[in-house]
Structure 1
Amino acid sequence: MLKQKLIISFIILSYFLTEDSSLNYLWPTNTSKTITTLFGEKRSRRFHAGIDVRTYGRIGDKIFAVESGYISRIKISPDGYGKALYLTLDDGNIILYAHIDRYNSEIELLVNKLRINKKSSSLNHFLKKDELRVHKGELLGYCGDTGSLSGPHLHFEIRDPSGHPINPLKSFYSIVDTLRPIAESLAIIPLSNKTYINGLQKYNLFDIEPLIVNNDNNSYKYFIKDTISVIGEFGLGLETHDEINSSPFDFGIYEIELFINNQKQYKINFDKYCFDHDHLIYNELDYYLLEKESRSFHRLFLNENTELDFIDRDSNDGITLDKGYHNLIINVIDNFDNSIQIQGVLKGDIVLSPDIIYDNNNYLIQTSNTNNNLSFYLSTRYENSQKIIPNYKQLDSTLFSFDKPLKPYEVLEIFNKDKGIKSKSTYISFYDYDPYKISGTFELEHINRYININFKENEFSGFNAKLILSGNGKKNIIDLNRYSKNVLSSGLIELNRFEDINQMSIIYDTNPEIIFNKNLYGKIFSSEQESSFKFKNFEIISNKESFNFDSFISIHEDQIDIPKEFIKISNPIIISPNTISFKDYITLKYENKKLIKGGIYQLNEEKEKWIFKGKINSFGQAEIKLFSGGIFCILDEEEKPLIKNIFPNPNSYYNVKEVDKINFNILDVHSKIDYDSIEINLNNQPIYFDYIPYRDLLRADLFNELDSGENILKISIKDNIGNKTNKEIRFFIK
């Protein structure tokens, strides 16, 4: 019985890490052996280059040398890795420890000397080989929360002698883990304007369901329920994650393989990569779905990312199927060799929507061909309303009679299924709709190399409409298709049709015609040359590396409420698209020579908060780098930074041993602290410090004892917009 209990206890704790005895690296800390983030997971415009070790909110747990070597670099900054330490091992590999609270006493003394010599609190210092030797197991520092993070943890990396990050869990440490990855959704992505997925020219998402046997939720087999119709060139995307025993977190996976008809089409494994390829993360992950759905899909095809080390070079760059049925298999493996297999069926053909004749006097619907696989649902005129099954009778093979529906359930959805393939839905209004009530909004989005324009109706109208793109004597007329109940869509439009276009119009097939117009200010930017585009006081500037492909960039003003604590200098502008990630960056520049103070802010729509991005200089200019579109505004504010909780306390008396440090909190709500502006002087001598934004904490160690008597501490801080706070306090040493 005791033996069984021990075995059970071991399984419960099996997510804990164990060192691989063949390599004999020590675990880097005594804080815990629990991981919160794995190698290769998503970060903003980069891959996660290591693993994060959980500290359970604690600060001060020990960090050890995993093997003997020498300290090769000390880097300190208020953002990024915070206080970081680089240890070059005797085997040539490089270890990075990040977000350190404090180094050991020897390194802290060295840091103080370096700061004094460089006259800077920030450091990026490289040491000579064997200048500072350490031995395996030696204490290097303490876990903390310095730099850019959302809570205390140890970030730990292993890099090869060339400086390329290596997955620590595939070569150096292992986990006893029994849980398989989880498959969630499959995305089918149109790569051509001749591509249709279940009759629609847009992204389509399909649920993936586990095959549960004997109530075991740790499933190996997953399946896609319906056959999927795809014609034209397409790519696949997979939403998946891993789980680890007894851990509350979702993790990234290690490997994905795609097969169609038993032929390998794609393979990726997160083993090792080069930092130069970080910008390719949004070619590996689908940026459109990340922005539109807040969901992470791995793209299972090459798309301007062939140089990314993770991906097999023989992978597909787009798939086109013949009219037959095709078997789809996707294998997913985690870092600990647990695996799943996803199966589905694709057909390179289409099921057309049934032709419908509607008699609105007698609530009769007649189809043009014999079909017993029609499905009917009733809903309201509003998007995402509940669906109910209507009461109807089938009078013959093509004729259906419906009971008069009760409002508000007055919209009928009809679709057809043939051999497991679903057609595009058709929508009918049981009651007449006043065309003067039609209202909606334009949406322009980049889908890979094409543009899609949607008109989103506030209420389902039931009327057909056309899109007209006009400008400089040109007029492009495009029939709109109803892609969902409330969305009329252009489908994928080639970029060259937007050359010199300055207006979009929606014209409804009503009597009289109902027309909606929207001005369009934009330009096609080449991916091969520098270019620019001006809009009032703003200018967009591209370089030769800004785009993966030619892109249409547009700007328009919008009426967006600005919080009362800000002074609005410009109207908010929306830069589109925000559904593609730029290869490098474009520059957003603002110039107003009458302006002496203010900054460029970007709206975080999820948090409904304006985020400072760049300061107006003395010439009335500001510029920032953009990696995608968004909402921007020139704002100012006059709230000064707050300094509080100062130690030593003002006008207080201390014994000399009681004052070995200075610390206080600094806060600025609207534009954050300008790190480079911080100045601390004690008795007219500069004090160098650690700034920890996560805790709004500034602290400095005093390495020399203070003289008895009065001491004067002066603090000066600016926020990023230029508001300044000065503090002067006196305290006394007995």
Structure 2
Amino acid sequence: MIKKLTIFYFIILGMLTAQDYLWPTEAGNLLSSNFGEFRDTHFHMGVDIKTNEVTGYPVVAIDDGYLSRMVTNFNGYGKALYITTKTGHIAVYAHLEKLSPRFESVLRINQQSRESYFVYQRFTEFEFPVTRGEIIGYTGNSGSSSGPHLHFEIRNLEDEPLNPLLHGLDLPDHLSPVFKKIAFLPRSTSTKINASPLPQVFDAYRDRDGTYHLPDTLHISGPFSIATLLYDIREGVGNKYQIKSLTLKIDDQIKYKAQYNHITYPETGFVNTTYDHYLSRLNEGRFHELFQYSTDPTLNIENSSDNGLISLHPGYNNLQCIAEDHAGNISIINGIIFNHPVSSISLELVDSNENETTFIMTPNSGNFPFTEIIPHTFSPFGSIEEKLVPTIQIREGKKVTFTLPTKSLQGRSLQVFGMNRLGAYSESTHWSPKSVLANIFNVTANLDILDIHQGLYLQVTLSQPIDGNVQMMLEHETFLESVELNQIQPQVYITDMFHPSDLVLVKQVKVVLRDNENSSLQQSIKFSWTPEIAIPGETATVLSQDKSCSMRVLSSSLYDTTAIWIEKVDQSVPVQSGTQLSNVYQLQPYTLALKDTVQIGIKYNDEFVFDKYMGIYAFDQDEQEWNYLSSQNHPRRRIITAAIDYFDAVTIIQDNDPPYIVSSFPAEGGYYHYQDVEVLRVKVDDDLSGIKSSEEAINLEVDGSKVYPEYQPLEQEISYRLTTPFLPGQHSLSVSVKDRVGHVAQKKILFRVN
């Protein structure tokens, strides 16, 4: 609890007299988050106002109106008030510590009558009027709050959140948004971005006048879309904020526009369609996706008739992205894209001595001779190492002779691109010295299936470069299909993009390594892969190869048709607490955004049929920990089931230990003055499944009488504010908590008050 002089609040109000509404708290006007920011499963629907990392600042009615709703919960907004204003808005104050005395008494009456901490009570305009500036509560940290702050919203009368910084609240801001990166994403089987079939991400560069640029002219052929990593900033704080609007233009024509003015609650679950889920899952950051799939739901933030799919006219095209913040500050990123078919090239070793190695590069197609050679070396393990600069480069017609230092090539493989005077790239070609090339029978191969923006790629990675070629065949249920591979690195080969429907009834992938000198010598490597094709509006089930893990896609799970499969994980992060009772299974495709949950099931051995406290856990890549999923055990079938909203790695774990009481106030055996005991607090913890955040799992008794405490799930703290002080003498505090698999911890705490 903190106390501030009233004069401080009036200073803040004086700063805001030009606004329609009062600022909702005297804690200050610094924000930690603003409207429309991306969260894992939703948009942020208001602004978070900093409270200097403490609780207890007064919050006030922003205008005349009435208390229309009062809510208390362990999760979500915790303790919250809803004020309907005379201007026809609803102001929401969330994560409060306590309410004003008259509202706190109303809350207590409701909790007692319901015999529950949980309250959801609506009021008419005649019951609890409020006046502009009236203190209605105090800032806190209740509910699913990661630290003390005030979450504040403005909604219309349909309960739809509006951007508070555009509807009555405003703050001075003179800093423009910041562009960090821009991604170019293939949208067809023929698309190449700087000669690559895969997404390409580039840094944004800022010049002296504040305009951002791409690092160079890009060469793109085929349809594509754009995503960008950017954020807004404000004076005096280091936080990163959502922008107000983002516009994409190609040759001055708007291709896509997003505006964060108004988001409805039915829309918030579709947040994963507005940022690039593929890049996010690869830990590249949450890029604003300036593209809308035909199967995506239309959201209020999307404000253009075009869906962001870009098909360029031949030659040079101008790209421009414009970001604007709530104060009207603008940042622009400009770029030039050259549209031209990609040429292939061949590379021939001409001569090599201890100092220099000479090659001839010849274009196999294309009308424009190459003017620049771009060589990179790769280590024997396949990682890119160094960009080389040719010491000599001679062009004869369309052929280019160039020389590289021999020392730089020792024990290394070479990748070469050509570039013509217009900025067009060739496909890459590769060369390795004999000392690096491996016999086809001495290498291993890995198969990766990449799900990228509703397309699938099959990628083969060899343990070493080979003196041979690589072929691929797909074994369908009734026929064998030969698939063309593109070599994109000395040891990496990839297919063109598949649509999921192209992979119906695939049973196996065969990779053939064929010797260059003797084509009859070959090594065949087989990979079992049996994807199921799942279609929106229909159900589909897929099993792991060992039949012990199943995944059922429901009719509501998907945005679009996709291939689904399950991989058994051979090496995984070990379980630190509890006992692992099954293999680890990776649900695929890992990078796919889900519209709704999918159902999973994992079998366990007969020996565990009478065991308790088992559940399915999913691995969180960001936190590097196993998280419990709400699970159901079916002993007759020896299977545990759960729902999951990400394609994560999953396994069965048995939680062996109950939760525990960490500390309490008052403490066991403590002796206190009655005025010092206003709020009872109990800290609890659990090492694996976590404390169950429900009233059924959390019980508190004071001197033998049941009370209705608050629980903060992130702090894992139970608290109860006394309505009357303790009388002198001995008192007791009895606490009981349950974890998410059913373990119970209990403790009775005795203390004295004078």
The answer to whether the Cα contact below 8 Å between 1:382 and 1:460 also exists between their aligned partners in 2 is no
Q: CA deviation at 1:337?
A: 0.7
Greater Cα shift, 669-678 or 650-659: 650-659
Among 455, 467, 482, the residue aligned to 1:477: 482
Q: CA deviation at 1:281?
A: 1.7
The answer to whether the Cα contact below 8 Å between 2:613 and 2:743 also exists between their aligned partners in 1 is no
Among 517, 527, 531, the residue aligned to 2:526: 517
Among 420, 423, 432, the residue aligned to 1:420: 423
Per-residue CA deviation, residues 456-476 of structure 1 (Å, 9 max, x unaligned), is 345555753223222424322
Q: What residue is the counterpart of 1:582 in the other structure? A: 594
Q: What residue is the counterpart of 2:65 in the other structure? A: 69
Among 435, 438, 442, the residue aligned to 1:434: 438
Unaligned runs of 5+ in 2: 1-11, 364-368
Q: Structure 1 residues 44 and 391 mapped into 2: Cα distance closer, same or farther (>3 Å)?
A: closer
Determine whether 1:610 maps to 2:626: yes
Q: Structure 1 residues 133 and 293 mapped into 2: Cα distance closer, same or farther (>3 Å)?
A: same
Q: What residue is the counterpart of 1:631 in the other structure? A: 649
The answer to whether the Cα contact below 8 Å between 1:445 and 1:576 also exists between their aligned partners in 2 is no
Q: What residue is the counterpart of 1:601 in the other structure? A: 617
- TM-score normalised by the chain length of structure 2: 0.88
Q: What residue is the counterpart of 2:574 in the other structure? A: 562
The answer to whether the Cα contact below 8 Å between 1:615 and 1:720 also exists between their aligned partners in 2 is no
The CA distance in 2 between the partners of 1:733 and 1:483, in whole Å, is 75
Q: CA deviation at 1:166?
A: 1.0
Q: What residue is the counterpart of 2:100 in the other structure? A: 104
Secondary structure of residue in 2 paired with 1:75 = strand
Secondary structure of residue in 2 paired with 1:373 = strand
Among 39, 44, 68, the residue aligned to 1:43: 39
Secondary structure of residue in 2 paired with 1:670 = coil
Q: What residue is the counterpart of 1:713 in the other structure? A: 733
The CA distance in 2 between the partners of 1:380 and 1:101, in whole Å, is 58
The CA distance in 2 between the partners of 1:347 and 1:278, in whole Å, is 37
Q: Structure 1 residues 222 and 731 mapped into 2: Cα distance closer, same or farther (>3 Å)?
A: closer
Q: What residue is the counterpart of 1:13 in the other structure? A: none
| AA aligned opposite 1:410 | R
The CA distance in 2 between the partners of 1:59 and 1:269, in whole Å, is 33
Q: Structure 1 residues 155 and 661 mapped into 2: Cα distance closer, same or farther (>3 Å)?
A: closer
| AA aligned opposite 2:359 | I
Counterparts of residues 231-630 of structure 1 (less than 5 Å): 231-303=221-293, 304-305=295-296, 307-359=298-350, 363-369=357-363, 371-389=370-388, 392-394=391-393, 397=396, 398=399, 399-405=401-407, 410-418=412-420, 419-432=422-435, 433-435=437-439, 436-461=441-466, 463-510=468-515, 512-535=521-544, 536-559=547-570, 560-590=572-602, 594=609, 596-617=612-633, 619=635, 622-630=640-648
The answer to whether the Cα contact below 8 Å between 2:632 and 2:642 also exists between their aligned partners in 1 is no
Among 715, 725, 746, the residue aligned to 1:726: 746
The CA distance in 1 between the partners of 2:465 and 2:527, in whole Å, is 21
Q: Structure 1 residues 196 and 375 mapped into 2: Cα distance closer, same or farther (>3 Å)?
A: closer
Q: What residue is the counterpart of 1:7 in the other structure? A: none
The answer to whether the Cα contact below 8 Å between 2:45 and 2:161 also exists between their aligned partners in 1 is yes
The CA distance in 2 between the partners of 1:359 and 1:109, in whole Å, is 90
The answer to whether the Cα contact below 8 Å between 1:597 and 1:616 also exists between their aligned partners in 2 is no
Secondary structure of residue in 2 paired with 1:49 = coil
Q: CA deviation at 1:659?
A: 4.4
The CA distance in 1 between the partners of 2:232 and 2:52, in whole Å, is 21
| AA aligned opposite 1:600 | I
Determine whether 1:142 maps to 2:138: yes
Secondary structure of residue in 2 paired with 1:331 = strand
The CA distance in 1 between the partners of 2:102 and 2:672, in whole Å, is 27
Among 171, 179, 182, the residue aligned to 2:178: 182
- TM-score normalised by the chain length of structure 1: 0.91
Secondary structure of residue in 1 paired with 2:742 = coil
Q: Structure 1 residues 663 and 20 mapped into 2: Cα distance closer, same or farther (>3 Å)?
A: closer
Q: CA deviation at 1:252?
A: 1.7
Q: CA deviation at 1:573?
A: 0.4
Per-residue CA deviation, residues 224-273 of structure 1 (Å, 9 max, x unaligned), is 24332222222121222222123212222111122222222211111112
Q: CA deviation at 1:673?
A: 0.5
The answer to whether the Cα contact below 8 Å between 2:693 and 2:713 also exists between their aligned partners in 1 is no
Determine whether 1:161 maps to 2:157: yes
Determine whether 1:679 maps to 2:723: no
Q: CA deviation at 1:51?
A: 0.9
Q: Structure 1 residues 401 and 483 mapped into 2: Cα distance closer, same or farther (>3 Å)?
A: closer
| AA aligned opposite 1:162 | E
Q: CA deviation at 1:654?
A: 5.1
Q: Structure 1 residues 301 and 169 mapped into 2: Cα distance closer, same or farther (>3 Å)?
A: same
Q: CA deviation at 1:570?
A: 1.0
Q: Structure 1 residues 733 and 550 mapped into 2: Cα distance closer, same or farther (>3 Å)?
A: same
Q: What residue is the counterpart of 2:116 in the other structure? A: 120
The CA distance in 2 between the partners of 1:206 and 1:468, in whole Å, is 34
Q: Structure 1 residues 186 and 675 mapped into 2: Cα distance closer, same or farther (>3 Å)?
A: closer
Q: Structure 1 residues 27 and 396 mapped into 2: Cα distance closer, same or farther (>3 Å)?
A: closer
The CA distance in 2 between the partners of 1:344 and 1:400, in whole Å, is 30
The CA distance in 2 between the partners of 1:453 and 1:679, in whole Å, is 54
Per-residue CA deviation, residues 104-146 of structure 1 (Å, 9 max, x unaligned), is 2222222222222222222222223332222211112222222
Per-residue CA deviation, residues 517-562 of structure 1 (Å, 9 max, x unaligned), is 3322431111122233344343322232211111111112112242
Q: What residue is the counterpart of 2:662 in the other structure? A: 644
Q: Structure 1 residues 603 and 201 mapped into 2: Cα distance closer, same or farther (>3 Å)?
A: same
| AA aligned opposite 1:315 | D
Secondary structure of residue in 1 paired with 2:407 = coil
Q: Structure 1 residues 168 and 461 mapped into 2: Cα distance closer, same or farther (>3 Å)?
A: farther
Secondary structure of residue in 1 paired with 2:340 = coil
**Could you tell me the percent identity over the aligned residues?**
23
Secondary structure of residue in 2 paired with 1:405 = helix
Greater Cα shift, 64-73 or 368-377: 368-377
Unaligned runs of 5+ in 1: 1-15, 214-218
Greater Cα shift, 438-447 or 387-396: 387-396
Per-residue CA deviation, residues 663-719 of structure 1 (Å, 9 max, x unaligned), is 211111211101231112234321110112333221112324556655443221111
The CA distance in 2 between the partners of 1:556 and 1:277, in whole Å, is 32
Secondary structure of residue in 1 paired with 2:414 = strand
Greater Cα shift, 302-311 or 328-337: 302-311
| AA aligned opposite 1:413 | Q
| AA aligned opposite 1:589 | G
Greater Cα shift, 574-583 or 361-370: 361-370
Greater Cα shift, 133-142 or 421-430: 421-430
Secondary structure of residue in 1 paired with 2:501 = helix
Determine whether 1:85 maps to 2:87: no
Secondary structure of residue in 1 paired with 2:457 = strand
Q: Structure 1 residues 606 and 359 mapped into 2: Cα distance closer, same or farther (>3 Å)?
A: farther
Secondary structure of residue in 1 paired with 2:385 = coil
Secondary structure of residue in 2 paired with 1:695 = coil
The answer to whether the Cα contact below 8 Å between 1:474 and 1:501 also exists between their aligned partners in 2 is no
Q: Structure 1 residues 658 and 179 mapped into 2: Cα distance closer, same or farther (>3 Å)?
A: closer
